[in-house]
Chain A
Amino acid sequence: MRVFLASLVAVLAVVAAQPALAEQGVSDTEIVLGCSNSFSGPLAFTGEQATRYGVDLYLKVVNDGGGIHGRKVRTVYYDDGYKPQEAVANTRKLVEQDKIFAVIAPQGTAPVAATLDYLEENRVPLLFPFQGSPITRGKKYVFSGMTLYDRQARMMVDYLAGTRKFRTFATLYQDDEYGKAFLTAFEKEFARHGSKMVAAEAVKRGATDVSAQIAKLQAARPQATFLVLTPGPGAQALKEREKIGWTDTVMVSAGPLTDERYLGLAGDAAEGVEGLSLWPDPLVSDLPGVRTYRDAMQKYFSKNEPNRYSLSGYFAAMLFTEAARRAGKTLTRDGFATALESVKSFESGILPPVSIGPDHETQKQGFWVRVEKGRFKPLTDWLKSE
């Protein structure tokens, strides 16, 4: 007991005695950013790509070009495996031990929600989380990343009911914040167009069999069926539909689902499926910013295939850099937040010109795609949601 206590105190005292910076996360030579993300667990690929191959990719370009006002940007990442409790501990470690300036590009509604109050209380900017639930609205130091789910839902309904004149809809949604945020928004938008939801079925997170739900949705005979799921169950839904020969509905994927992994898993069953895409095709788009991104990837991580997750992280770092440059030589959190709010018509070459106002929403757009020969083919120009 005696030895144990003495050694416990000694060990903890040693690790506790670490120097503190005068100004958190910013020194004469360095800016420190970080986040807790999934590097293990179900979303490990997304997390790894967005941070180490996305945020870091752009920051390598910036650092090699002399940094931001002479300061290099360093990043620290911890793994939460999509567990909110781990995200809390990791975020506290980043803020209190690693003394980061801001959190950039964490992932997932629940892990982000778990850290939201803590970050706001401690005035730590939370930049561009990879999630779209509106929980991030109305916070002083929080800037959303992905187009928020209610905006995505509005764009989807405006396009399908407004432009394409569809009247009856069904929804297959994941039974959590992600799915329900879309479902509520769909119901609200249908009223404006005189359309209606004829069926809605839930899928529990982690479930793989969706055959019962698909059968019920088919019985309701909707003209279009929204899929608000993750790639696994999303692809399963498409295969199930093909299996039972349900052809008189258009399957439509929500923004977070419209990605290459979903497409790959569904294989031939994805042909003709439509969806809202939040990012230009990272592999073939010839937008100038996307080409620069591919060149940078080739230069720094030639073995890593371009994909929309690393593109989103790359874009997040680009936006951070723009605001940090605007904030000037003396970088403070309040100055940075003001600078970010003042971004107007910023040309990224990836998304349409970005203007961030007091609503702190950095992305408000998407465009319509249809799967043809295993790739997303654009059907519309950028759809906006103001």
Chain B
Amino acid sequence: MRVTAAGAGVVALVAWPWVASRYFVFLASLVLVNGIVAVGLNLLSGYTHQLSFGHAGFFAIGAYTAALLTLHAAVLPVPVTLLAAGALTAVVGLAFGVPCLRLGGLYLTMATLAFGIVVSETLLNLDWLTRGADGLRVPAARLGAVTLSGDTARYYLVLAVAAAMVAAAANIVRTRTGRAFLAIRESEVAAQASGVPVAAYRTTAFGLSAFYTGVAGGLFAFVVGFLSPDAFDLFLSVDFVVMIILGGLGSVPGSLAGAAVVTLLHDGLAAFQNYRPLVFGGVLVACMLFMPGGIASALRLRASH
């Protein structure tokens, strides 16, 4: 049953560009990009309880890295570009994660918040590289001789990358790192007592989460085709946090569901951005009150009854 449903889902995702209109192919690409970020953020927040309000910063670093590499090193195939975007973002994430080890709770959140602001200010001021506030036009991604222009090509690129990264995240609990994350999630003190180097894994979680977000940022650059520092603001970081809280902390399918709901809600509210924080705030409060475990645990409960 589970296998058939998963198979149907895969078929639906692969067939999507043939059944949906162009705009919904574009929208589905955005859902998947946000899904990767949510999965990455959930590795950090869901397992090691470090809440980040700076993921828009990591997202921006990935996006600009991919865009600039495509602009200045056009021969690189897109997987290399995306890996580089992820790797650079991961390095920044690790570098940021180390000093943050001394911080906990609110202080860590404040530091991540500041990080996001620093990144967007840096992008604004490095205008010889990023073209600052004027924005950067992103050329189409290339795979050997093929140019991935057009919504369908971009969608499949995003889908392939998303599939690989989601599969990796879903299976992470079977690795040594994943088991350590699980132990930390259940109890930091107990994990420490059982010989899990908590500090090292908390830093790893930062790097891993940044890697996911950086790759997603690279995909975002190709999907949207234009970057400017303004877009990577605090509201975007908050959107990411809403995705995982709504979807369910520590759940991969929940992250994807949260990303889908937030992205579609965002699209539906395109005419009323002034009310967006209000709606998202309302959704968060309702979520805390009525389904504190997010969509994932609400569905699990329903299934077990």
Interface set of A (CB-CB < 8 Å, partner B): 1-6, 8-9, 11-13, 15-16, 18, 20, 39-40, 76-86, 88-90, 92-93, 96-97, 109-110, 113-114, 117-118, 175-177, 204-206
Contacts and interface: CB of A to CB of B under 8 A. Distances in A.
Contacts of B30: 89
A113 B135 contact: yes
Contact of B23 (A40, A80, A84, A96): A96
B227 interface: yes
Interface string B248-276: 00000100110010001001001111100
Contacts of B267: 89, 93
Contacts of A40: 273-274
Given A16-B20, A205-B133, 5 more contacts: A4-B257, A39-B273, A93-B267, A113-B135, A114-B137
Given A8-B260, A113-B226, A176-B133, A84 B231 contact: yes
Contacts of B271: 39, 76-79
Contacts of A82: 230
B101 interface: no
B9 A90 contact: no
B22 A96 contact: yes
A6 B5 CA distance: 8
Contacts of B272: 79
21 contacts: A1-B6, A3-B299, A4-B256, A5-B8, A6-B5, A9-B12, A12-B16, A12-B27, A82-B230, A83-B230, A86-B273, A89-B26, A89-B270, A90-B270, A93-B270, A113-B135, A114-B135, A118-B225, A175-B132, A176-B134, A177-B133
Contacts of A176: 127, 132-134
B124 A16 contact: no
B133 A110 contact: yes
Chain B interface bracket (under 10, 10 to 19, 20 to 34, 35 or more)? 35 or more
A160 to B, nearest CB: 27
B69 to A, nearest CB: 19
Interface of B: 1-2, 5-6, 8-9, 12, 16, 19-24, 26-28, 30, 124-125, 127, 132-135, 137, 224-228, 230-231, 253, 256-257, 260, 264, 267, 270-274, 295, 299, 302-303
Given A1-B6, A84-B228, A96-B22, A11 B264 contact: yes
Contacts of A86: 231, 270, 273
A2 B230 CA distance: 37
A12 B20 contact: yes
B230 A16 contact: no
B2 A177 contact: no
Contacts of B302: 3
Contact of B134 (A1, A85, A177): A177
A110 B228 contact: yes
Closest CB pairs A-B (n = 4): A5-B9, A2-B5, A114-B226, A96-B23
A17 B91 CA distance: 44
Contacts of B137: 113-114, 117
B5 A81 contact: no
A9 B134 contact: no
B229 to A, nearest CB: 10
Contacts of A76: 271
A13 B24 CA distance: 9
B217 to A, nearest CB: 12
Nearest to B16: A12
B257 to A, nearest CB: 5
Contact of A83 (B21, B231, B274, B299): B231
A107 to B, nearest CB: 14
B228 A16 contact: no
B134 A113 contact: yes
Nearest to B24: A16
A12 B155 CA distance: 15
Given A2-B1, A93-B267, A110-B135, A12 B24 contact: yes
Contacts of A93: 23, 267, 270
Contacts of A84: 135, 226-228, 230-231
A89 B260 CA distance: 16
Contacts of A9: 8-9, 12
Given A4-B257, A97-B23, A110-B135, A85 B227 contact: yes
B137 to A, nearest CB: 7
B112 to A, nearest CB: 21
B224 A16 contact: no
A85 B226 contact: yes
A9 B132 CA distance: 39
Nearest to B127: A175
A59 to B, nearest CB: 18
B273 A81 contact: yes
A1 B253 contact: yes
A13 B15 CA distance: 12
A20 B23 CA distance: 13
A77 B225 CA distance: 22
Contacts of B19: 13, 16
A322 to B, nearest CB: 28
A85 B228 contact: yes
A4 B297 CA distance: 12
B183 to A, nearest CB: 24
A16 B21 CA distance: 6
Given A39-B273, A205-B133, A1 B2 contact: yes
B108 to A, nearest CB: 27
A4 B253 contact: yes
Question: Considering residues A39, A85, A90, A175, which has the most beta carbons from chain B within 10 angstroms of its beta carbon?
Answer: A85
